[in-house]
Amino acid sequence: MLFGDKNEFAIEAQFDTWHDKWCFGRLRIWVKGDEYGNFLDSVDLASASRWGRTFLQHSEGRMVTGLNELNASEIYTQVAGRPLLDGSGQAGVAVLDRDAFVFDDIGESSLRDKVSIVVARDSASGRERIMVKDLKTGDIRDVYLDGESCDEVVQLFCVWCESLARQGNES
């Protein structure tokens, strides 16, 4: 199933099988025509959906004043700031509530250790900005969305996953 538009923002998911309470499938994220995630890695779609619901619960918290004036690295550090920030040996501290912005938990093992995705919304224009950090190279891809919002796409994905869960509970 494809939720959204690959040339803008989309989640692509495929159901594979049930194993006890686990709903296994495949998942990848599309941002402006580029795919992120290993579609060969099996993920628990029910867990991905729970992370999606957490992301949706924090929608209003994704608003950032002056987003256009900040560069991608600054935003990423403020939001996901987990690594050592200054080389001092002291852990970095996220300035903003991580749950509102960090998208890669939704991707489970498909994304983990490969990329980190941060989503923010400009408080003035309402436009969404996605930053995809390649965890191997440290490079950050920075794009603004023009179409459907991330929330709309994540909502569709979560509803689909929840319908799978209902089907699995009925069997």
Cβ-proximal residues to 108 (8 Å cutoff; 6+ apart), any chain: 27, 43, 44, 47, 48, 51
The structure's pTM equals 0.83
Question: Residue 36 is part of which domain span?
Answer: 2-170
pLDDT, mean over the chain: 82
What would the mean pLDDT of 72-98 be, rounded to a whole number?
A: 61
Higher per-residue confidence, 111 vs 47: 47
The whole-number pLDDT of residue 66 equals: 77
Total domains in the chain come to 1
Residue 48 host element (H or E): helix 45-57
- For residues 169 and 72, the model is more confident at 72
Q: Is the predicted pLDDT of residue 109 greater than 70, yes or no?
A: no
Single out the residue of 114, 85, 90 nearest to residue 27, CA to CA: 114
Judged against a pLDDT cut of 70, whether residue 84 lies above it is answered with: no
